[in-house]
Structure 1
């Protein structure tokens, strides 16, 4: 047992949110996607200057608009990244050997070019600073949100190396150069602020001065930092932001002492506290690992500083904290949870292992407006350095009864590690407490931590009217996992033990401190698993091949069930080969409860594997597939939306209140999902559902009170941002998503090779690829001139030919396009299956990969565009969605961007390879609403709901289910006393004996909704005796006919019903369909009956 102590009685300040920073986390506009970026709520990122040459993508001007539109607050520009080489300028401080062209417009192609061996009595780097500042300020739309960092790692290989010796001559030169750089940056800033120079967008800086960051040392340098503070204070050139790195795992132990020492310097020197940015933190072993990242976040949030994950691999994937083209990994979900805390106040958290490496840590916050307390934690460890199955108690004190009331609800979600490029599904609810009494503001919540790599989110609210269920087998959401090395290995497969801390910054994390390798043709690993319930399950393998895609065969109890399609992973450098783990999935249908042997068999792919996971997909009883409920307390509320606790049966609902509620929903694959919104509203109230920025439906309440509405929407593979926006009074309880693959047939799909091709576009055949049909189209847009380099077997090594400044050679005279026809006018989720193997130049440790651009034109009008990430090899294809609205004309795809602007890699006019394009209409069908009422009528039924008949007579009743938008209008007929009258499945009532009875029609979709009539049965005084002439001899009495109840739809009626409706029994497929809709409605996370009883 381990304990994390959280004192809600001691606040530690406003939530800062700076720990969500990245160095080169963004590649180009659209890389990553908006949903990924907004969900992660990246507060700060460092990028290269406009036209900088250090990396081929990640230009500040290319990413700024997307960044600030998706929650970003501050962009840092590494100004030295103007240089193409690392270390900068060969590691030597430049002198005066060049003359830069500065007398033309900053957007002129000649601006900033230089002549070598042409001294001009000006320090070369001073001219570079003027060039990059002009390029940025002449074009940026956000000058006041940019921070300029003139030096990066000056203590190391970049010009001023002296260790921490502040007396060295080279460091004295740094102090002089700092002042000069500061002056140049401010000079150019003031030229734009005063209007002397103009910005193409008409934007002027408004801040007093340009924000400048430094010194930028590669480690904490106490002496050098203090010397800079002393010197810059005297010269009035103090940095606005103090910068250094905390890279090694020792920083988990030493950072706070560095921070405290720095703050003591400020006090000693009488300097107003500066902002701090830890511009690079963490090692490869930390990226994507929730239980590792939370340890860093806890330090940085408690000291209220910004901190950016290090850039170990490639730009555009949040430093390995997302997966594929648009999916989450474990790191992304932790950033999402952390971003949800904006607007809160943090509180005191005390660990049993302060300032230590690889141990339990956390961040906690209180949101008094929404009456919600959150604790993020993880990293619980033990002597094995695996930390498996450790009970962790979060001991909370100081929970204010005026905020939470006398009893609370608790939800705990688990976020497991799935590797850098392995997909992580929506975190599961693993612990629930309902109506838990607070004792003197104290609450203990104990949850077993699966391992030290996982992260956890604990949420406390007042007792809600929204019921949250555990994600277990009973609810169709169980999850089991096993380390690959713990499976039964045979036929050559070998388990390998790894260092628990993985050795150095250059090594990745290995779950369980081991993995399985030597996985060559015929090698096997078998998981003997105890399946908890009948149903479908998704097997996920966390694995990495050597840069190429392939397959592993899968068997259940010795029977072949298909293949795992293993994607290619990063293998451009030794440290990544077989270590940069992704995931492969296959659905196993029809698994039965009990023990099974699941075997994964190797092919010639030779992949190394870390762990296996088995996700329950459904219960196997007709329930929806991949159903996930997102309660209001887990939504991100903005612009006035707030959780309501006013005691009217909607406690814990999100009152939209003119604002918005966002859900970031995971989908394993592109295609249709039923989005079920459970809410409470007055009849006629409406709200809008948008998906990934595209309006999908306007939902109108069909009744007063609690109800549900279903919209069938096309999702992207990965993360989808669902936004609900509406007026006050619309109160949302939950959003539930569930796969609706039966509508995928509505999509329009084109194989790229079947399109009309022109220019340089050509069909390429590759039997080793994972393209459908083993063919795809290459050569769209312009074409890079490429050459092969590097060792065989390390992934695709096609390097773009480029000059010494990494400027690529581009063939522009044969622009390729592909054209498709037959897409009707409308809004679509266009899914492009693509590959991109382009990388430009070389670097000491960063693969210089680039994003490529693809645009869609209808006629001469561009109607959509997107950025498409590196896929490790042209042989491996990923899915990327782009929203497009067409007018029914022919659609042409290519890349028409002008070559030479180099604001982004996509502007070289080169497009990715395309395997297929699929157009999903944004929605399928109309909004389906829940039942608001059932009305029973029929010939002879009075206005007050009464009818009469005689013994032996029949009466045909009709049931009308409202509103018209209800999908399932079937009702169940019942009689309150079958000895008096029976009713069959068609609503036909038959009198049996004298008396009064209630006949009820109950909605099958919602059993809380029903209608009824009161039927009085009288004796028939005119009945004839059955055997003679006497009036009273042998009288025949009516008897039940065996039909004591049944189902009918209000579109059904009998031939004798006196109307034009037709009776039909509900059997077979119709029953199954109705059951599916009914379960889907019930699965929305809302107890409708309970809610209505309170409304």
Structure 2
């Protein structure tokens, strides 16, 4: 967005030919079709691409305390979500034990962040601040030493000094920030938070109350102090440790910060601050309740009217908290908020209901996506576009269909994000939604377009959401007067959808269905067959609820005690392997549920611990557990989940197809170029050369955010077109993995076997102009996992306070793990009984913990060769410091790796709800082959927030995966047939009964499988065996062909003439049978795969692909295999 002093960004009838309806999964059963009688009434979202509404603002991706510490969340999660703005606490602030602005700023701005807001009152340890009362003059703060001196900002009680105490606090926090920040111009300072409520100036909306008049005076004083300190650093009077000076003419200040829209108070502040020249740069208030979905626009319009009435230049707006627990992680809810905030071009931050560092419940586990994260990712993809007018049938209403739409003219792509279609049941199951688009400019899109729709289902706040599936595909749809209708049935009101329109492409993406090995079915837990005590509960639809999480289907299953069962009678669409996912929540500890298929035990679901520290979360903060069911056959099966003593409540079950069971890749997912995030010059190309819709890297980069269910090796296959010798680089999570050089001209593939992290992985392609990428496909390659080096923590060499702990109730491997790494907190079991882990860190009234620093624990492993690794740490963290009215005061812990005296890697490790539950977190590490020691050497108070306590997480195991396994595997560029007696023009002869040995050469050398299949065009004339030995049978002429097994589109051949024994053999040329080198130095027979353009006339028709078709596209075949796009060269044939 860029930062300026005033950052306001100014602000269906008709059918397309052959519009399609695709019905994705339904509630309780898969839906493949619907009769008119069964279908729910369609709902329409009108999108007018002829009316732009301004540059995409992107402010709806904001968060309050979305970040915990540097590395929490991970770079891939943060960059993927493209969080534009987040509010954090001031340096050394005591309100929360983590989320210090100085700890997160570098990572935030390096991963797409644009603005950091600092809640300056969060210097105070208590909520409400200072006991809810405006401070007076009772303290003297030490201000006469360096801001980085340990004594700076300490205070003496009962020591008035004729200065308002909070004014001194403001000077303290401003100095601490400006003396250390690397990004002063990107920080916004907010002096007051919820002043209208419990924080010092409660008057409702009475602007005439004496307490509010005091606020107006205090506002002016606070503004002056902030600007005073700012100018001291700008002028050089005070210095910054990084040598950074502010450059803006003044500090950005936000306010008033009211807990709801207060029209009278806001107008009074504008009037007063205009007169005093202390106007806020950013106007701030909250929109928390669901009623805001109905009322926000009227609040916005009223505020803008005040500016106009008072002659004030439009201010930027930040809705500093929005949404309820029921909205977080729910795509169909979040899109309703995003649509109204984006349409009014304001910033908006999700509320901080739980703990810092997990994007306000919009990510899962340590590095995984939930449904909310994918919506943020899609929204972030719109940067650089222009938004267009969207009209819902339910404007300014609660829980209904809404959307955001944008046009990217550079990449010739239109996008609609939508969701929330609802009905009287408040579930909104299987509602057809028609996106009615008008104004699609033919100068941008041409006469026909392709459409792809992806579905993003709700999986709970801590439940893993895989890459959203393609549920609707339209190819070569004719635009009629710029109009197009696309109808897709919405699974339920909780899901979100991404619709992408492009000009007609030369490649297309397949539906994610059973035919392509990517089907998905779901059922609400309460709709399964329950027995042995399990009970279905009806829940509120959560309208009007501040403190409830969303319940999918307005129900769940409880009373799930020992032996209780829920059975899903499911119609499996095809033979293959399937992943069963249970969306569930125990009471704060891990355990298992048994799984049976048709009465036969198939293993256990390992149910992770979930948040249970407060009533609103216990049994309601849902995560997920998964198990792969191998060898399911097509047809009806009974899948039963049986309870143990875990006592978990469950929301729904999902069944993902893993593979078709016919040797096809496992967990294969294709990301087409139109889904990639392009930057630094990379652009989608539509120049009519047979590569329409490819991403031309053009010296820039293309990012794919790929999901992996578990850590380990995946084949990453890049389908691309380039000139021979062109190159590009594949990087994984910031680490270079492969430098790829094109082995031939034209379409080809390169496969790199890469160790990916569990969860989201950022795959980056960077390269020169002319390298045009069609797609990136990932597929599990678990056979290479044996290359990893794994250590059980208890087998490592331990020292200091590190020790082995045995716990049969944990989900640690072997039920043992190592504790005490780094410093150690002093803890006690003081948490409320029955609400999860009771362990609490001893701390003083300011939430400063007691830390043992004289017995640092370490663990050392040996035998890891020199190299670069994806180091997967299986860890747990139950650190809880201090107390708060509703925010669990949990913290991240730090772990570093030393080789000798040098730190070679570090990471932040999130709260895992209990020490008994372990998660996986990956850290990239490059070693020189020496012993590796793990611990935490950070000094207490080193301004790394929670990590600075020098305490490390518990460790169960460490696994080192070499970043890549093997070299780049290129696609076959050609097959050449040669042999003694084969002429330069590919001819040979032999007599009846004689044999001729042929050889086949597959190029390039980097092809993994060089085997070929030999065939004869007429076995009555000559036969050929698997070794290429040809035998004459009778007189005549045949073609002997060697076809690549790796790429059957590639082959080479020779023409063999068989003569009777009495006949003279033809020479096959003028060289009397001697081999003669070709002009290029090669010998042998015809290669049917000539270079790019060799047989590509201008009369070739460019056709897209759907289903399993193969079309000739300028000498390129595009074969849709499974869910992937495989590009192959074709020989032109007459």
Aligned to 1:362, the other structure's residue is in SS state strand
> How far apart, in 1, do the equivalents of 2:1098 and 2:1117 lie?
28
> How far apart, in 1, do the equivalents of 2:82 and 2:395 lie?
27
* Gap change, CA 1:391 and 1:1067, over 3 Å in 2: closer
Q: Which range is displaced more, 464-473 or 132-141?
A: 464-473
Superimposed CA distance per residue, residues 37-58 of structure 1 (whole angstroms, 9 cap, x where no aligned partner): 0000000000000000000000
The 8 Å contact of residues 139 and 157 in structure 2, kept in 1 or not, is answered as yes
Return the offset for 1:901.
2.9
The 8 Å contact of residues 972 and 1007 in structure 2, kept in 1 or not, is answered as yes
Superimposed CA distance per residue, residues 365-415 of structure 1 (whole angstroms, 9 cap, x where no aligned partner): 000000000000000000100000000000000000000011110000000
Return the offset for 1:983.
1.7
* Gap change, CA 1:1043 and 1:853, over 3 Å in 2: closer
> How far apart, in 1, do the equivalents of 2:1008 and 2:274 lie?
72
* Gap change, CA 1:993 and 1:426, over 3 Å in 2: same
* Gap change, CA 1:673 and 1:1094, over 3 Å in 2: farther
Return the offset for 1:649.
1.1
The 8 Å contact of residues 975 and 1044 in structure 1, kept in 2 or not, is answered as no
- Unaligned runs of at least 5 residues, structure 2: 1-42
> How far apart, in 2, do the equivalents of 1:1075 and 1:436 lie?
21
Aligned to 2:170, the other structure's residue is in SS state helix
> How far apart, in 2, do the equivalents of 1:561 and 1:709 lie?
37
> How far apart, in 1, do the equivalents of 2:752 and 2:473 lie?
29
* Gap change, CA 1:820 and 1:742, over 3 Å in 2: same
> How far apart, in 1, do the equivalents of 2:1074 and 2:879 lie?
95
Q: Which residue of 1 aligns with 2:1098?
A: 1059
The 8 Å contact of residues 1112 and 1118 in structure 2, kept in 1 or not, is answered as no
Q: Which residue of 1 aligns with 2:1078?
A: 1039
Return the offset for 1:1069.
26
**1:632 is aligned to 2:669:** no
> How far apart, in 1, do the equivalents of 2:563 and 2:1023 lie?
67
* Gap change, CA 1:696 and 1:1092, over 3 Å in 2: farther
Aligned to 1:989, the other structure's residue is in SS state strand
The 8 Å contact of residues 673 and 775 in structure 2, kept in 1 or not, is answered as yes
Return the offset for 1:611.
0.3
Q: Which residue of 1 aligns with 2:105?
A: 64
- Unaligned runs of at least 5 residues, structure 1: none
> How far apart, in 2, do the equivalents of 1:773 and 1:251 lie?
51
Superimposed CA distance per residue, residues 251-285 of structure 1 (whole angstroms, 9 cap, x where no aligned partner): 00000000000000000000000000000000000
Return the offset for 1:1066.
32
> How far apart, in 2, do the equivalents of 1:1022 and 1:1063 lie?
49
Q: Which range is displaced more, 963-972 or 63-72?
A: 963-972
After superposition, the CA RMSD in angstroms is 6.7
The 8 Å contact of residues 23 and 311 in structure 1, kept in 2 or not, is answered as yes
Superimposed CA distance per residue, residues 707-737 of structure 1 (whole angstroms, 9 cap, x where no aligned partner): 0000000000000000000000000000000
Q: Which range is displaced more, 792-801 or 78-87?
A: 792-801
Q: Which residue of 2 aligns with 1:319?
A: 360
> How far apart, in 2, do the equivalents of 1:1036 and 1:863 lie?
58
* Gap change, CA 1:992 and 1:1064, over 3 Å in 2: farther
Return the offset for 1:918.
0.3
> How far apart, in 1, do the equivalents of 2:1071 and 2:157 lie?
127
Return the offset for 1:999.
1.3
> How far apart, in 2, do the equivalents of 1:1063 and 1:357 lie?
47
> How far apart, in 2, do the equivalents of 1:1057 and 1:42 lie?
46
Aligned to 1:154, the other structure's residue is in SS state coil
The 8 Å contact of residues 972 and 1045 in structure 1, kept in 2 or not, is answered as no
Q: Which residue of 1 aligns with 2:347?
A: 306
Return the offset for 1:1042.
37
Return the offset for 1:1021.
0.9
The 8 Å contact of residues 465 and 652 in structure 1, kept in 2 or not, is answered as yes
Return the offset for 1:1014.
1.2
Find 1:259's aligned residue among 288, 300, 308: 300
Superimposed CA distance per residue, residues 160-205 of structure 1 (whole angstroms, 9 cap, x where no aligned partner): 0000000000000000000000000000000000000000000000
The 8 Å contact of residues 506 and 1105 in structure 2, kept in 1 or not, is answered as no
Return the offset for 1:1085.
3.3
> How far apart, in 1, do the equivalents of 2:328 and 2:132 lie?
28
Aligned to 2:220, the other structure's residue is in SS state helix
The 8 Å contact of residues 1093 and 1115 in structure 2, kept in 1 or not, is answered as no
> How far apart, in 2, do the equivalents of 1:118 and 1:179 lie?
25
**1:694 is aligned to 2:735:** yes
* Gap change, CA 1:1025 and 1:1085, over 3 Å in 2: closer
* Gap change, CA 1:554 and 1:1045, over 3 Å in 2: farther
Superimposed CA distance per residue, residues 968-1015 of structure 1 (whole angstroms, 9 cap, x where no aligned partner): 112122222223222222211122222222211111221221111111
Return the offset for 1:956.
1.0
> How far apart, in 2, do the equivalents of 1:143 and 1:1039 lie?
67
* Gap change, CA 1:1065 and 1:395, over 3 Å in 2: closer
The 8 Å contact of residues 986 and 1046 in structure 1, kept in 2 or not, is answered as no
Return the offset for 1:435.
0.8
Return the offset for 1:790.
2.5
Aligned to 2:197, the other structure's residue is in SS state coil
The 8 Å contact of residues 743 and 1004 in structure 2, kept in 1 or not, is answered as yes
Q: Which residue of 1 aligns with 2:19?
A: none
The 8 Å contact of residues 721 and 748 in structure 2, kept in 1 or not, is answered as yes
* Gap change, CA 1:793 and 1:1050, over 3 Å in 2: farther
Return the offset for 1:343.
0.2
The 8 Å contact of residues 678 and 1084 in structure 1, kept in 2 or not, is answered as no
* Gap change, CA 1:187 and 1:1068, over 3 Å in 2: closer
Q: Which range is displaced more, 824-833 or 943-952?
A: 943-952
The 8 Å contact of residues 414 and 427 in structure 1, kept in 2 or not, is answered as yes
The 8 Å contact of residues 481 and 611 in structure 1, kept in 2 or not, is answered as yes
* Gap change, CA 1:821 and 1:680, over 3 Å in 2: same
The 8 Å contact of residues 129 and 181 in structure 1, kept in 2 or not, is answered as yes
Aligned to 2:934, the other structure's residue is in SS state strand
* Gap change, CA 1:1038 and 1:782, over 3 Å in 2: closer
Q: TM-score, normalised by structure 2?
A: 0.91
Superimposed CA distance per residue, residues 39-96 of structure 1 (whole angstroms, 9 cap, x where no aligned partner): 0000000000000000000000000000000000000000000000000000000000
Aligned to 1:502, the other structure's residue is in SS state coil
* Gap change, CA 1:911 and 1:998, over 3 Å in 2: same
* Gap change, CA 1:712 and 1:1089, over 3 Å in 2: closer
> How far apart, in 2, do the equivalents of 1:942 and 1:1045 lie?
7
Superimposed CA distance per residue, residues 624-660 of structure 1 (whole angstroms, 9 cap, x where no aligned partner): 1000000000000000000000011111000000000
* Gap change, CA 1:388 and 1:1063, over 3 Å in 2: closer
Q: Which range is displaced more, 136-145 or 981-990?
A: 981-990
Return the offset for 1:504.
1.7
Q: Which range is displaced more, 498-507 or 929-938?
A: 498-507
Superimposed CA distance per residue, residues 421-463 of structure 1 (whole angstroms, 9 cap, x where no aligned partner): 0000000000000111111100000000000000000000001
Superimposed CA distance per residue, residues 502-527 of structure 1 (whole angstroms, 9 cap, x where no aligned partner): 65211100000000000000000000
> How far apart, in 2, do the equivalents of 1:1042 and 1:192 lie?
70
> How far apart, in 1, do the equivalents of 2:1067 and 2:938 lie?
95
Aligned to 2:1125, the other structure's residue is in SS state coil
* Gap change, CA 1:170 and 1:926, over 3 Å in 2: same
Aligned to 2:303, the other structure's residue is in SS state helix
The 8 Å contact of residues 1025 and 1036 in structure 1, kept in 2 or not, is answered as no
Q: Which range is displaced more, 267-276 or 502-511?
A: 502-511
The 8 Å contact of residues 632 and 653 in structure 1, kept in 2 or not, is answered as yes
> How far apart, in 1, do the equivalents of 2:1068 and 2:758 lie?
77
Return the offset for 1:792.
2.4
* Gap change, CA 1:924 and 1:686, over 3 Å in 2: same
* Gap change, CA 1:669 and 1:604, over 3 Å in 2: same
Return the offset for 1:608.
0.2
Question: What is the aligned residue count?
Answer: 1092
Superimposed CA distance per residue, residues 637-695 of structure 1 (whole angstroms, 9 cap, x where no aligned partner): 00000000001111100000000000000000000000000000000111000000000
Q: Which residue of 2 aligns with 1:463?
A: 504
Superimposed CA distance per residue, residues 941-980 of structure 1 (whole angstroms, 9 cap, x where no aligned partner): 0111111111221111111000011111121222222232
Return the offset for 1:754.
0.2
Q: Which range is displaced more, 1066-1075 or 820-829?
A: 1066-1075
* Gap change, CA 1:1005 and 1:1070, over 3 Å in 2: farther
Q: Which range is displaced more, 962-971 or 284-293?
A: 962-971
**1:767 is aligned to 2:790:** no
Superimposed CA distance per residue, residues 776-835 of structure 1 (whole angstroms, 9 cap, x where no aligned partner): 000000000111113323111111111111111000111000000000000000000000
* Gap change, CA 1:437 and 1:211, over 3 Å in 2: same
Aligned to 1:129, the other structure's residue is in SS state helix
